[in-house]
Chains A and B, each alone.
Chain A
C-alpha cells in the first residue's frame, strides 16, 4: 500500500511538471511571438483561403497549420493569440485575487458589518449566471482588453472571497491567534503576520486556477464576438470562426482548441498539484 501511494504521488508529480512545462513554453512563445510566427497574423490572402495543414492534399508548406477563410495563417494567429491569453490570465487573475482575497480576509477576520455586507454581495453574485453577467458587462463597457480584465475581476472576486473568508474564520479561531493577541499584537498586525501567511497557500492555489478560468472567459467572450476586435488574433475568436466553418475547414477550430484545452488543463492541474503539495501545511 505504501508503494501504491508513492506511485500516485509520482504520477501527480509528472502531471505537475508537464503542466508547468507547457505553461513555460507558452510564456516563451508569447515573449518571442514576432520571431517565432512564420507570417503576419493579420495578413490576409484571399487567394490562399482555407488551405489545409501541411500533411494534407493541396496544402501550402508556407502555412504549416493551414489558413482560415480570409487566408490568414492559423499557426501565426495561435502564436500571437498566446500573448492576449497570457496577458488576460496573469493580469485579471492577479487583480481578482487581490480584490477577492482582501475582502475575504476582512470579512472573515473582522466579522461584524463588513462580513454582513461582503456575504450579502457574495449571495447576490452567486445568483447571476456568470457567463451572462460577463457578456452583459462587456456590452456595457464596450469590448477591449481592459474591459475583459475588468469584467473578470468584477465577476470572479467572489471565488476568492468565499474561500478566503471561510479560511480566515477558521484561522482566527486558532490558539496561535489568541496567543498573539495576548502578546499584545494589534488586530491588523495579527491579520497581516499571523493569518495571511497561513492563508497564502490557498491563495496561490486559487490564483493558479483563476488564470485558467480567465483564459476560458476570454475565449468565451471572443466566441460571442465581444472580446477585443474580430481582427486581433485571439484563440476564442479563431474558435468562433472555426465553429461556423467546421464542415469546410476543421483545422481552423481544431488547432486553437487544442492549444486552449492544454492551457486550461495545465493551469488546473498545476493548481491541483500545488494544492496537494501544500496539503500538509494546510492540515
Chain B
C-alpha cells in the first residue's frame, strides 16, 4: 500500500504558466522513489507541495496529495501542518543555510520533538544523542552544544539527516541532499542516508538530477520533464531499457552508465522538441 500517493497534481505560478501538469506518483511504505529531471522541471515543487512549503506565488490548481489515506489539500492548514510535521521530514539541499545560525545544534534537533510531538525534554535529548551516534558524529555531546558555523558542511548535513530521522517519520523528502557538498563527502552522505533508510524502514522521496545517485539508492523512479511525469518505472528496468525517448536521452547524457571513452551524448534536439510537443498536448 502506498504511504504517499500524489494524484493528478497540477500547479502554476499565480497569473503565470504551469509548473506541474497532472503529476501522479506513489511511494509505498519503506520504498525509495527517485525523482529526476533537469533543473526547472518541477521536481523540487512536488516535494514542496507534499510538505506544504510551496512559495506563496505558486498555487495548486487541481489534484490530490494522499498521505496515509488522508487528502492533505482538503485539510485545514493547521491540521495539515501537524499531520505533515508528525509523519514527514525534509532533508534540505544546502546544509549551510538549513541550520539556524543563532541557535545551538542540540535545541535545533530537540525543539520540535518537544514543541510539536510533546516529548519530554530529557527523552528528546537522549534521542538526539543516540541519533548523532547513528550518523557517525564523534563527540556528540560536544557537538550538541555547538553553533552551526563551528561545523563543516558534511557535519551539518549529517546533523540534518539525524534531525530528519529523529521523530521516526514514515516519509522523508530528500531535496538534492548532496548537491551542495564536496564530491568526496557526497558519497559518504549518500551511504548514510541509504543505511538509515534501511534500518528505520522509512519511505523516501529522493529528488535529484543525478542518475548515478538514483541507481545506488532508489527502487522506483519518476522522470519529470517540464512539469510532467514522462516515465514511471522500477529502477532496474529503467537502466536496462528506458521506456521514453527523453529518458533514454537523459541516460545517454550521463557519463558513468555509458562507455566513458564514447564521450557524452547531449540530449538530441529532436527528442527535446518531441517531448515538448507531447507535454504541451498532454
Task: Determine if chain A interacts with chain B.
Answer: yes
Name A residues whose Cβ lies closer than 8 Å to a Cβ of B: 1-3
Please, how many angstroms separate the alpha-carbon atoms of A2 and B16 in the complex? 9
Separation of A2 and B57 alpha carbons in the complex (Å): 10
Query: A3–B14 Cα gap in the complex (Å)?
Result: 10
Give A252 to B214 CA distance when docked, in angstroms.
80
**In the bound complex, how far is the Cα of B93 from the Cα of A198, in angstroms?**
39
Closest chain B residue to A2, Cβ basis: B15
A8 to chain B, nearest CB (A): 15
Q: Which residues of B contact A (CB under 8 A)?
A: 14-16, 57
6 pairs from A and B in contact (CB 8 Å cutoff): A1-B14, A1-B15, A1-B57, A2-B15, A2-B16, A3-B15
Q: Which 6 A-B pairs have the closest CB atoms?
A: A1-B57, A1-B14, A2-B15, A3-B15, A1-B15, A2-B16
CB-based nearest B residue for A1: B57
Q: Inside 8 A of B14's CB, which chain A residues have their CB?
A: 1
Bound form: Cα–Cα A1–B14 in Å: 7
| A3 CB to nearest B CB, Å | 7
Tell me the complex Cα distance, A1–B57, Å.
7
Min distance, Cβ A203 to any Cβ of chain B, angstroms? 37
Contact residues in B for A2 (Cβ distance below 8 Å): 15-16
For the complex, what is the distance from the CA of A165 to the CA of B16, rounded to whole Å? Answer: 43
Residues of B within 8 A of A1 (CB): 14-15, 57
A2 to B13, CA, bound (A): 11
Residues of B within 8 A of A3 (CB): 15
* Nearest CB of A to B238, in Å: 38
Q: How far is the CB of A267 from chain B (nearest CB, A)?
A: 36
Contacts of B16 in A (CB 8 A): 2
* Smallest CB gap from B14: residue in A: A1
* In the bound complex, CA of A238 to CA of B81 (Å): 61
How far is A1 from B16 in the complex, measured between Cα atoms in Å?
9
Kindly list chain A residues whose C-beta atoms are within 8 Å of the C-beta of B15.
1-3
The CA-CA distance from A3 to B57 in the complex, in Å, is 12
A5 CB, nearest partner CB in chain B, Å: 11
Closest to B56 in A: A1
The answer for the CA separation of A1 and B56 in the assembled complex, in Å, is 10
Q: B138: shortest Cβ distance to chain A, in Å?
A: 44
A3–B15 Cα distance when bound, in Å, is 9
CB distance from A150 to the nearest CB of B (A): 48
Closest chain A residue to B55 by CB distance? A1
**A-side contacts of B57, CB under 8 Å:** 1
Chain A residue with the shortest CB-CB distance to B57: A1
Q: How far is the CA of A3 from the CA of B13 in the complex (A)?
A: 13
- Give CA–CA (A37, B259) in the complex, Å: 93
- In whole angstroms, what is the CA distance A3 to B16 when docked? 11
Q: Determine the distance from Cα of A89 to Cα of B13 in the docked complex, in whole angstroms.
A: 48
The smallest C-beta distance from B58 to any residue of chain A, in angstroms, reads 10
Task: State how many angstroms separate the Cβ of A79 from the closest Cβ of chain B.
Answer: 50
Bound-complex Cα distance A2 to B15 (A) = 8
Closest to B16 in A: A2
Q: What residue of chain B has the Cβ atom nearest to residue A3's Cβ?
A: B15
CA distance A59 to B33 in the complex (A): 85
- B13–chain A nearest beta-carbon distance, Å: 8
Q: Looking at the assembled complex, report how far the CB atom of B133 sits from the nearest CB atom of chain A, in whole angstroms.
A: 46
The CA-CA distance from A1 to B12 in the complex, in Å, is 13
Nearest Cβ distance between residue B57 and chain A, in whole angstroms? 5
